[in-house]
Amino acid sequence: MEEALLVAQAPPRPVRVLLVEDDEGDAFFVSELLAAEATVAIEVVGTVAAARAALLDESPSARVDCVLLDLGLPDAQGLDALRLVLEVATDAAVLCLTGYADEHRGIAAAAAGAQDYLVKGQVDGPLLWRAIRYAIERRRADEQTRALYVTQVRAAENARLERGLLPHPEVLDPAVSVVTRYRPGRDAVLGGDFYDVVETGDGSLWVLIGDVAGHGPDEAALGVCLRIAWRTLVLSGRDQDHVLPVLEDVLVRERRSDEVFATVCMLVVAPDRRSARLFLAGHPAPLLLGDAPEQLPDELVGPAVGVLPGVVWGSRPVPLPERWRLLLFTDGIVEGHAGEPGERLGVGGLLRLLRAHPAYSAPGGTGELVDGAIERAQVLHGGSLPDDVAVLVVAHGQDGPPA
């Protein structure tokens, strides 16, 4: 059995070494030093131009693992030769070869980007082979470090971008707490979902959540544009019945295609916090997290913003208890799979996830509750949710600080 397994295993691919050396004697000497290594395949060229041509060959069989570069060549000398090779040696390690009299050039070459340097006549076969393997591993380590750095920089930039584009709720009432969560889908930085919370001078609490149809930077930019326009309308004292029509006018003027639209849920809570007025434009109604979670009535839901320009949206009053929590969400969290093929989580599934979570009744546990619901939805879906997810919870008279 073991013999059969050994026969079935493919032999390792030989390490391909490109020797750039114009002196035939030195080239023969280096080739002989490596001849004892059966896992090495060596190719010899005599100019930098030939080396660049070999390195630019994209065929899999021509891939070079390590370049042994003489720093004194007919068409380039010293660091100029090294720079010309490094320009095209994107995946190969580079070892420089120097003579006794110009070892200083090897030190300069290592500082300029070569993995190492060797002095001709001071190496034997095993030492040369170890140097090649070390250079290849160091090159891989350098690439991994560089890739990690790029990833970290991108993550930091993404975090700054999200902080800059996502809103800071403007609420002065100490009895009101706000919890927000945002997870863009499809590995994006920011999606088309948007939300905001603003308390106006008369004590009214304006709450918004919406979703621009589609994915990509254009949708994200439009979502931010709509949020800023909405906040401007609220702070300027626009009557609540006129906000969605103006928001639609902004969308129509800013969208790149007539097919782009946005669903919107707007809630205006009275200054005494005992009632609210609910506006729905193609968006699911909020959830009231009482003794048992339930969805607010949505029989007056109108078309999405941008679908029927000029439409007038109705609204309905919503009575509120003395202490309440309202959860607004975009459909990204309810459109994922619910574990069975073809079955979606839906609003009913979301209600069950919330009720079953240990933090549902825990004081100050709203943040943990929302995180748990999103994570459980991802588990049921079998991975990251395909659409953007925005969740906004506004509470009045609840124990514990906002999370």
Q: Which is it for strands 316-319 and 324-329: parallel, antiparallel or unpaired?
A: unpaired
| Alpha carbon separation from 237 to 230, 231, 240, 243, 288 (Å, rounded) | 11, 10, 9, 10, 27
Q: What is the pLDDT of residues 11-37, one digit of tens each?
A: 567 889 999 999 888 888 888 888 877
Per-residue pLDDT, averaged over 336-356, amounts to 87
8 Å CB contact between 303 and 213: no
Considering only 7-21, 201-215, 266-280, 358-372, which range has the smallest mean pLDDT?
7-21
189 compared with 301, residue with greater pLDDT: 301
pLDDT of the residue at 110: 85
| pLDDT one-digit tens code per residue, 246-259 | 999 999 999 988 99
pLDDT band at 238 (very low <50, low <70, confident <90, very high): very high
* pLDDT (0 to 100) of residue 165: 62
Which of these ranges, 36-40, 151-155, 322-326, has the smallest mean pLDDT? Answer: 151-155
pLDDT at 153 over 80: no
Mean pLDDT to the nearest integer, 202-211: 96
Confidence of residue 402 (pLDDT cuts 50, 70, 90): very low
Query: Is domain 14-149 in CATH 3.40.50.2300, yes or no?
Result: yes
Distance, CA of 183 to CA of 166 (rounded, Å): 11
Q: Is 181 helix (H, G, I), strand (E, B) or coil?
A: strand
Say whether pLDDT at 4 is over 60: no
Return the pLDDT at 3.
45
Per the structure block, which two tokens stand in for 106?
């090897």
Mean pLDDT computed over 384-398: 89
Please say if the pLDDT value at position 187 is more than 70: no
Q: Read off the pLDDT of each residue in 119-140 and give the average, rounded to a whole number.
A: 85
More confident residue, 109 or 275: 275
> Residue 403 — very low, low, confident or very high, per pLDDT cuts 50/70/90?
very low
Q: What is the mean pLDDT of residues 206-210?
A: 97
Q: How far is CA 307 from CA 8, 81, 83, in A?
A: 62, 63, 58
Q: What integer is the mean pLDDT of 291-314?
A: 90
* Lowest model confidence (mean pLDDT) among 91-95, 355-359, 380-384: 380-384
**pLDDT of 78:** 87
Tell me what pLDDT residue 155 has. Answer: 66
pLDDT of residue 162: 58
The pLDDT, as a whole number, for residue 101 is 65
**H or E stretch including 119?**
strand 116-119
Q: Which pTM value belongs to this model?
A: 0.63
Angstrom CA distances, 55 to 98, 339, 375, stand at 21, 50, 47
Q: What digits encode the pLDDT tens for the residues 379-390?
A: 888 888 878 899
Give the Cα separation of 197 and 174 in Å (integer): 14
| Residue 307 reports pLDDT greater than 60 | yes
Q: How far is CA 288 from CA 49, 248, 332, 365, 403, in A?
A: 72, 27, 19, 16, 18
Output the average pLDDT for the chain: 86
Phi, psi angle pair for 16, to nearest 5°: -95, 120
CA separation, residue 72 to residues 26, 29, 254 (Å): 12, 17, 61
The two tokens of residue 305 are: 């913003």
Which residue ranges make up each domain of the chain? 14-149, 166-396
Which residues are CB-contacts of 159 (< 8 A; sequence separation ≥ 6)?
A: none
Superfamily of domain 166-396: PPM-type phosphatase domain (3.60.40.10)
